[in-house]
Each structure stands twice: as structure tokens, then as C-alpha cells.
Amino acid sequence: MPSSHLLLEEPIRMVSILEPSKPSFFSAMTKIVGTLGPKSRSVETISGCLKAGMSVARFDFSWHDPEYHQETLENLKAAIKSTKKLCAVMLDTVGAEMQVVNKSEKAISLEANGQVVLTPDQGQEASSEILPINFDGLAKAVKKGDTIFIGQYLFTGSETTSVWLEVSEVKGQDVVCIIKNTATLAGSLFTLHASQIHIDLPTLTEKDQEVISSWGVKNKIDFLSLSYTRHAEDVRQAREFLSKLGDLSQTQIFAKIENVEGLTHFDEILQEADGIILSRGNLGIDLPPEKVFLFQKSALYKCNMAGKPAVLTRVVDSMTDNLRPTRAEATDVANAVLDGSDAILLGAETLRGLYPIETISTVGRICSEAEKVFNQDLYFKRTVKYVGEPMTHLESIASSAVRAAIKVKASIIICFTSSGRAARLIAKYRPTMPVLSVVIPRLKTNQLKWSFSGAFEARQSLIVRGLFPMLADPRHPAESTSATNESILKVALDHGKALGVIKSHDRVVVCQKLGDASVVKIIELED
């Protein structure tokens, strides 16, 4: 498989550079995942984030307690209600993360060429000479010459807030290191990353399981971000755990790839997971810098061909403290879109950044510009070729719907779906227009009570590029008569008109199920 898949065959029209960006309801087809934290947890700020384009809220459990996150989530619910913007919830696990514990929270100064000892003895006080860690197997895992990184926010990349260590010797359970750069570590907790070394910690820790079965179940989380996924078995075990937790059997698992082990088993992990998060912060440490872009392009290509959402992290780090991204970062966001990303994940930029709303808005505008020059024709041909023949029934319908929409210059594709699979398949072919996924709820029972499914399926499309959900009236089943389908279609068209994406005389492509058959039809709107 070629490692590079650039989707621009022709020079970019210069006129598009000069045209100002037009605001619209769909600020961009590419989705934005925002991490909520100290600077982004008030109802007012979250409302601003939703209006700016955030469609998934990430709750990072590697810091703070469930009560804190619950307060933030209640604020998110209030913001959703006031803005009328849908938002999904993602729980991010701690996983096999090693941490340095600084109980006193005093700043620790480390001088280049000095020595510091990493010890599993957490009774010790963190200082410039000794750093207590939460893992007693480090001494067995490392050897002289190995590289270790320590930083507060998964390595900001700043040489003054993150430190690079080289193992000089192992003494019992202690690891003696040479300090390679002068830095000051501030805060109560720092992440420790041993480059290209297997760490014998479970992917789903006891703490993670406790949080998922309490906080996760209570809040019916849409996505589980499985940190430090290293093998397909990690995903299978997580799915088995979720399957026993009632509603969470519907929760989608996104495997977070953040080290060489995850890269090595990427193909098997992709088969098992519902989506992939490329955690470039840690990957940038585990991989040589010159290899990161190759992995990014290759991984995004594989996700695109599998029709599974791909999420990219660490794109506008400088916006944590600044109103504008660097030129390199702006280009990086655009390239992520051109490479096929479904969503951009913002971490520190919204968690503790000074400008969470402006960051989301800026990233959305860059995504929107890149989407204008995305070579859909080349992408479509390549995807059809990859899928091969004979196509499955659903794949054929999905690709036909996209081809028809592009040929007739439709303003929108409307897809009726129960599981969300048909709509995701249409989005897989990256149409140039939005896909309105009309999720038809299904009646289900657990022998004790009846309930409608559909809310999970609707929210889970909020991480897929180009897919925008709408939950239909449950009294209208998906496979019902054409009369009831027509009434749902009218509601969907009215919804599109209200959003400003459909107007008089526009063409709309509709994909729906009639009896045993799936049909694609083109309708032209009247006045």
C-alpha cells in the first residue's frame, strides 16, 4: 500500500483563497471533538463551543474525579438545551499510563546533565533528585540508553515544561537517569512515557472499569476512547466488559493508538474497533519525527477504506496560549482533512487553553476551506476500486447515492436508517454535500420494559465526516408504507430548509428502504 495518498491532482484555484469564508449551519463537514475542563466547563463557554462547531465532548479521566466531570456534563446538557445543538459524549480512559506523583505540587527544577532517580516508592517526596512513579515494573522494562519523557500535559513539546531523560543504570526497583534538557515540572501529576518499550500494565485498568461502570453507565456514554490500545484483544476485552453494562453494549469503542506496539498491530485493531484516534502527542515521542506523517497518511487511508471514523489529535497546540495558530499548524489541520480525517480532537487547547471557543471556530474554518479543494472524484474512484466487485447490496446503494448526488449537484443527501450503518456507508464515499441521517427508532424490550433505540445511533454519527443526524418520530417505522415514509421525508426536508441547506428548486437525493428493497431517488423541490 502506498504510504502517501494526496488527494489534490490539480492546482488549487487561487480564487478560492481570495473568497471570504461564508458562515453556514454546517461550519465544516469535518467534526471537532473538544475536551472539557477548567477553561471550558461553564454553561456559557460550552454553549459557545457548540455554536462554534464542537459535536463531541471528551471527558478525560486521567485527571480529576467523577464528581467534577459530572458537574461539567450537567453544564453540557444545559448548553445543548439552550443552543439546540446535538453533542455526543466521549469517556477517555487512563489506560496503561505511567505517572509521576507530586503530592506537594511544588515546581520541580531539573538541570541538564544532572541526575534524577525514578522510584516506585510513592512515600517519597517528589524533588529535583527523586521522582516517585505509580508503576513498580519500570526497572524491569528499561535498560541503559533507553529514552524516557516526562511532562504535565502529554508533552507540550516545550523544552521548558517537558523533560527528556536517558537511562544510565537500574538499581533494584529504581531507575537512575541523566537529564538531557533543563526544565521545570509544575503541577501535581506528570505523565511518563518510555519510548518504544512494552509496559506491563492492563489497557483497561481497575480504575477505568470502576469509572465506566458508574459514571459511564449513569450517563450512557456514546464513545469510549481506549487509551494505549496495543492489541486487538484490548478492544475485544473492552467490548466484553461494556456488553455486560446494559445500555453501554451500544457504546462505540475508539482505539487510541499512541505507541509503536499499537502501530505494529494496527490492522487487527482496526478490524475490531469502531473507530481510531491517532494520538500524535505520544506517537511523536515513540516514532522518529520523520516517520509520523507516513503513519498518519497510511492509517487514515486504512480507516477511510474500512469506512471507520479516524480522529486526529495535537494539531493546534500553540492556540492553548494564543488566539491564532502557527502557519505550520494551520497547514497541518488542512492536510489532516485532505488525508481523510473524520474529526479533529482538541485536548489542552480547549481543556486548559485560554481561547477554547476561538480555537474550535478557527479549526472549523480551516477544515471548511480544505474541504472545498478535497479531490472527491479521485477519492471516490479509489474507494470503489478498493471495495472491488461484487459489492455488497448496501455498499452498492451507498456509492450509487453519492454518485447520483454529485452528478445532479444535489444540495443534500437524506438517508433513512435504523442502525446508522447505511448513513455511515454513504459518508464513507465522502460526498461533497452534507448527509442528513434520519434515524428511525426501533422498539426493543428486555422482558421487563419496552424502549426505543435511536438516540445512540443518532449521536454516534456526530463523529463521522459529513454526517448530520436527525431523530425521527418513533411512530414511523423505517420499513413502513411509502405514505409514512413520505411524511418523514417532508419533516426531513423542512428541517433542511430551516437549517438553510435546502432551498427552492434544489435537488435532493434520498436513500431509503421500501419493503425488502433499498432505493435511491432524486427529487427536485418546488417553490
Fold for 377-524, please state it.
Pyruvate Kinase; Chain: A, domain 1 (3.40.1380)
Q: How is the chain split into domains, by residue range? A: 24-96+202-370, 98-194, 377-524
CATH code of domain 98-194: 2.40.33.10
Q: Which residue in this structure is represented by grid cell 446538557?
A: 77
> How far apart are the C-alpha atoms of 236 and 317, rounded to whole Å?
33
> CB-based contacts of 186: which residues, under 8 Å, 6+ apart?
107, 108, 152, 161
Alpha helices in 446-513 (DSSP H): 455-460, 482-499
Pair 462, 223: CB distance under 8 Å? no
Give CA 208 to chain center in angstroms.
Answer: 19
Digit-by-digit pLDDT tens for the chain (527 residues) are: 444 444 444 444 444 444 444 444 457 999 999 999 999 999 999 999 999 999 999 999 988 899 999 999 999 999 999 999 999 999 999 998 898 988 888 899 999 999 999 999 988 999 999 999 989 999 999 999 999 999 875 445 556 788 999 999 999 999 999 999 999 988 777 889 888 888 888 999 999 999 999 999 999 999 999 999 999 999 999 999 999 998 899 999 999 999 999 999 999 999 999 999 999 888 888 888 888 899 999 999 999 999 999 999 989 999 999 999 999 999 999 999 999 999 999 998 999 899 999 999 999 999 999 999 999 999 999 999 999 989 988 899 999 999 999 999 999 999 988 888 899 999 999 999 999 998 887 766 666 666 566 788 889 999 999 999 987 766 555 444 454 567 788 888 888 888 788 888 899 999 987 666 678 888 888 76
DSSP string, 57-95: EEEETTSS-HHHHHHHHHHHHHHHHHHT---EEEEEP--
Q: Which of 386, 465, 479 is nearest to 426 (CA)?
A: 465
> CB-based contacts of 490: which residues, under 8 Å, 6+ apart?
none
> How far apart are the C-alpha atoms of 489 and 494, rounded to whole Å?
8
Does 24-96+202-370 carry CATH code 3.20.20.60?
yes
C-alpha cell belonging to residue 416: 433513512
| Dihedral pair phi/psi, residue 295, rounded to 5° | -65, -40
